[in-house]
Structure formats: structure tokens, C-alpha cells
Amino acid sequence: MKLLAAIGRAFLGLLAAIGRIAIFAGQTLGHIVRGPFYLRELAISFLNIGWLSLPVVGLTSLFTGAALALQIYAGSARFSAEAVVPQIVAIGMVRELGPVLVGLMIAARVTSSIAAEIATMKVTEQIDALVTLSTHPMKYLTVPRVLAATIVVPLLVAVGDIIGIFGGYAVATGTLGFNPAAYIRNTLDFLELKDVVSSLAKGAMFGFIAALMGCYYGMNSGRGAQGVGSATKGSVEAAAVLILGANFVLTGVFFSI
Amino acid sequence: MIELIGVTKSFGNNHVLRGVDLTVDRGTSLVIIGGSGTGKSITIKSVLGLVTPDAGKITVDGQDVTQTDRDAFLARFGMLFQGAALFDSLPVWQNVAFRLLRGSLKRPKDEARQIAIEKLRRVGLTPDVADRLPAELSGGMQKRVGLARAIAADPEIIFFDEPTTGLDPIMAGVINDLIREIVVEMGATAITITHDMTSVRAIADNVAMLHDGVIQWAGPVGDIDTSGDPYLDQFIHGRAIGPIEAVR
């Protein structure tokens, strides 16, 4: 009986958390379409989330594309199908690995940073100070970050896709003996518009989730250093899980037959 | 005039405010004293709408604070937070001029900067501080920047939350004198929260003591030594023995 009660409490807690996040997301969307807009904060968010994430996104994609080429080559050699390496690298990077890895890297780098920053602002009464200075915290802190991430993460995904494919290309032509021109032709011929669109749509959704979770956990953090730590940890966990869940849903939407 | 009538606020089983009745006349300086955790900060945050009371009524110049236009209402206030609450990512002058750079009180950037530098000078800081980041300042300087921000838009009502906590006695004296000067000079209504009896005597026209969720004693600052109230006597003399339990 106690076990059932504990499961029930956990389930109700989960539903309540989902409800709170849904309300927060709704409020954020509401503020996105209504002014005032803080363009300086938006520009800073573009810089922090987009430009400064490029190195980690580039390196992650490069190594993933290169490893993918090696794996596909080794696997396909078992049934003499080595020629599929360019196509599988392209489809693997663009449809799945590019958006998911970029999403997870953004969750690690950006979500944690947003949550820690906003939680610290809350603990040090900076959020209260914003209110007393007639500035809505959601408009000033949440909207610029969520909007910037939703716009800029698809661009990061596009860059990640290209670098990942280049990683596969470099390994395939450098060590596996593929013809460079044929590799590029096979890659371009095999990719469809839907692959690219799905990749960018996933990027937008993952960016929205990553920034939203950072803001939500930051705004709702507990007191003191422990509160900031818990908010940061919770935001990354929630963002990573939601990104992977959303990836499954979006893959179903775009590619289920 | 600020008036609180029967204001209550609880957090779970912790009944912080149990019916606070308090009046602050226009242009006067009230200091709220009381032990830690007695709800002093909650009281002023309730006036500003940062905390929503469970019951009771709060009015400013006769108008219910929950029924006013929020922006216009907040534009009448300035607040100095306990830790100054400066925005780390903005230089000092943009912290001071925050309200003047956006919203209904927005001014041209150059004008806002000039006002910020003037307010910094008013609190004893030189213009070279304007372009520094808050993290580059000492605690006392941060408090002064917070004070400059609180008065930047010439508010009618100013709240000071523990303005001298964490400062050395000399810097605390400087801040007390500044608060008194600014309140008199601007003719503002002020509410200050403090544990520091030196600050109370320097800043207050009137004093209210909050204990056990209600106003235990209220009156002119000149009466605190002769009040005859055992709670106030124990507090102002810092005695461990008395009706207020030392271990709470």
C-alpha cells in the first residue's frame, strides 16, 4: 500500500511539474509576441548561444562524422556494401546525429549557464530588483534567451551537419580510399529536402527546449548555493530528456510511413 | 501615506505575518526593527507586490496596491536591497540608470548617463566608477551604487532593506547620513529595515517593532528609550534575557 502511495505521489508530482512547465512555456510565448522587447539582451543571447557555441558544436560534429564513417565502413564491409558510406553518413548526420548532438551540447553548455545565471540572480535579489525597476523578468531574461536559442540553434545544427559530413568525407577519402568527387556527389544526390527541413525543425525545437528549461529552473531555484546547484543540474537533466523525447516525436512526424 | 491593515502571510506552517497594521505618513522616515525572521523584509516586499499577502489590505495614498497600474505604481518607488542586487553584467552607470534606459521613464542614453553620474556623485562616488562592473567594487561602494540606483528616478517612496549590514562602522555611518540627507532633501517617504540601533537613531522619524508577526510597538524615535515596552527594551539594549526568546 505504501509503495502504491509513493508511486501515486511521484506520478502526481510529475504531472504537476509538467503543468508548471507548460504554463511557463505558454507565458514565455505570450511575452514573445507582446512588447516591450529588449534588443540588447537579444543580441547578447545570440552571441552567447550561437557564436560562442560554434567551437564545441564544430568539434563534436567533426569527430562524430569521422567515427560514423569508420563504423559504417567496418559494418558494411561484412556484406561488401562499403559504397554506402557517404549516403549513411549524410543521412545519419542530417536526420539524427547532427540535431541531437547539437541539442545535447547546447543543453550542456547553454541550459546550465542560463539556469545558473538566473538562479544566482534570484538568490541575490536581482530578479526582485528588476521588478522594482518596472521591468518584467520574463520579458527581460526569458524571452531574449528562448527566442535567440530557437532561431540560432537550427543554424548551429546546419553548421554541425556540414562539419559532420565533412568529418566523414575526410576519413573516407583520406584513409578508406574513397574518390572525393564521387563521395560528394553521392552525398548530395542522396539527401532530400525533407531531411534538411527535419534537421532544422529539430534544431528550433531543441533550442526552444534548452533555453526554456534553463530559464524555468533558474526562475524557480531554491535558496543559496545548493539551490543554484540543484537548478543547474535539474535544468540540464530536463533539457536532455525532453530533447531526446522531442527527437523521437519529430522523427515520427517527419519520417513515419 | 502608506497603510497596511491586517496583513497576513504564511509560508507553509510558518506564519510570518499574523496581522500587521502599520501607517507611514507622507514625507516621514519609518524604521522597522525586529529579530531575524520576523517578517520585516516580507512586509516591504508585500507593499511592492514582490510577495502577495494571504489577507489584509495595503494602500498607498488611499489606493489599494492591487488595483493600481503596475508600471505607474512602481515608478513611484526606489529600493535599496540588502546585498545591493546590482546587475553583474551591466556597468555601474547602467545599473544606476536602469530605469531611465527603458520603459515609461526612458531618456536619451547620454542624458541617462549624466543623471547616473550625478547620482553617483550624490552618494560620494567619483565619475570614474561609472564604467566599472559591480564585481570590481567593494561592499560599501556597491551599497552606494544601490543607493544611487534607488534615487535615480527621484522616487516619492524609498525602501532600504538592511542598508548597513556587512559594512564597517564608518561606512555604515556614511550610508546612514546619506540616507537621512537624501530623504530630507527629496522629501521622500522612507521605510528602512535594520537591526542596527545606530542606524535607527540616525535615520528614523518613527520606529515600529515587528515581533511574532505583529507590530509590537510603534512610535516616534525619541520615545524608544522610555517606551516601557519590555520587548522593545530588550531589543534596543541587546539583552539575551527578556520576553523575546534568544533561541528561535
For chain A, 257 residues long, the average pLDDT of each consecutive 10-residue run is 90 92 94 89 95 95 96 88 89 95 96 96 94 93 97 97 96 93 93 94 97 96 92 96 96 86
Quote the pLDDT of residue A78: 85
In a domain, A15, yes or no: no
In a domain, A247, yes or no: yes
Residue A131, chain B, CB below 8 Å: the answer is yes
Domain around A159: 36-255
**Residue B247, min C-alpha distance to chain A (Å):** 23
- Tell me the backbone φ, ψ of residue B137, rounded to 5 degrees: -105, 155
In a domain, A152, yes or no: yes
Q: How far apart are CA B31 and CA B82, in angstroms?
A: 15
Nearest in space to B236 (alpha carbons), one of B205, B207, B206, B203? B207
CA distances from residue B12 to A221, B39, B86 in whole angstroms, order as listed: 18, 14, 30
In a domain, A68, yes or no: yes
Contact A132 B48 (CB under 8 A): yes
| Total domains present in chain A | 1
Q: List the end-to-end C-alpha distance of chain A, in Å, as a whole number.
A: 44
Probe site for chain A from B47, B73, B98 (most A CB atoms < 10 A): B98
What are B133-191's pLDDT values in tens digits? 999 998 889 988 999 999 998 899 999 999 888 788 888 888 898 888 888 888 899 99
**Residue A141, min C-alpha distance to chain B (Å):** 12
In a domain, A23, yes or no: no
Quote the pLDDT of residue B247: 57
- Which residue's C-alpha cell is 517606551? B227
Q: Which residues of A26-58 are buried (b: 16+ CB within 10 A; e: fewer)?
A: eebeebbeeeeebeebbeebbebbbeebeeebb
Chain A residue nearest residue B70, CA to CA: A134
- Tell me the backbone φ, ψ of residue B7, rounded to 5 degrees: -80, 125
**CB-side neighbour CA atoms (13 Å) of A179:** 5
Of A36, A38, A125, the CB nearest to B85: A125
Of B50, B103, B104, the CB nearest to A128: B50
Contact B99 A133 (CB under 8 A): yes
Cβ–Cβ < 8 Å for B134, B102: no
Residue B55 gets which letter from DSSP? E
Cβ–Cβ < 8 Å for A157, A208: no
Strand order in the sheet with B63-64: B14-24, B2-11, B55-60, B63-64
Residue A38, chain B, CB below 8 Å: the answer is yes
- Which residue's C-alpha cell is 539575551? B240
What are A81-138's pLDDT values in tens digits? 888 899 999 999 999 999 999 999 999 999 999 999 999 999 999 999 999 998 999 9
In a domain, A96, yes or no: yes
DSSP string of B183-240, one letter each residue: HHHHT-EEEEE-S-HHHHHHH-SEEEEEETTEEEEEEEGGGGGG---HHHHHHHHT-S
Contact B103 A135 (CB under 8 A): yes
Quote the pLDDT of residue B248: 54
Quote the pLDDT of residue B246: 67
Q: Per-residue confidence of chain B (248 residues) as pLDDT tens digits?
A: 899 999 999 998 889 999 999 999 998 999 999 988 889 999 999 999 999 999 999 999 988 998 888 888 898 999 999 889 999 999 999 999 999 998 888 899 999 999 999 999 888 899 999 999 999 998 889 988 999 999 998 899 999 999 888 788 888 888 898 888 888 888 899 999 998 888 999 999 999 999 989 999 999 999 998 888 898 989 888 888 888 876 55
If one counts every other C-beta atom within 10 angstroms of the C-beta of residue B4, the result is 23
ipTM of the complex in this document:
0.88
In a domain, A99, yes or no: yes
In a domain, A219, yes or no: yes
Chain A residue nearest residue B157, CA to CA: A132
Residue A24 gets which letter from DSSP? H
Size of interface A-B (CB pairs under 8 A): 49
